[in-house]
Amino acid sequence: MRKFEVSWIDFAEDLCDRFGERSMTDVIEEFNNLRQEGLGIEYQIRFEKSGSLMWSSKPTLTEHYFISNFISSL
């Protein structure tokens, strides 16, 4: 059985990427510039990470907004 290994540095970088402070401009720009450039699942993961930052910054955005953005970025 193969063991899943993650280095401490990778973990810390992922944690900061997901929860670290970013300016609102950075969050919006990253979200609006998302495009699928490979596997659909890779795009979905990037979209969910970026979308969760957008939603936490702008909780009034609707589900329809996120769905529309997801589909148009494919």
The neighbour count for residue 12, using CB atoms within 10 Å, is 10
Each residue's pLDDT expressed in tens, for the chain with a length of 74 residues: 555 566 777 776 777 777 766 677 788 888 989 999 889 999 999 999 899 888 888 889 999 999 999 999 98
Residues 6+ positions from 55 with CB-CB distance below 8 Å: 61, 66
Q: Domain boundaries in the chain?
A: 22-72
pLDDT value, residue 4: 59
Indicate the length of the chain as a whole number. Answer: 74
Structural contact between residues 31 and 51, judged by C-beta atoms closer than 8 angstroms:
yes
Determine the pLDDT at residue 10: 74
What single letter denotes the amino acid at residue 18? R
What pLDDT is attached to residue 72?
92
Long-range contacts of 38-42 (CB under 8 A, 24+ apart): 40/74
Q: How confident is the model at residue 25, as a pLDDT?
A: 74
How high is the pLDDT of residue 6? Answer: 65
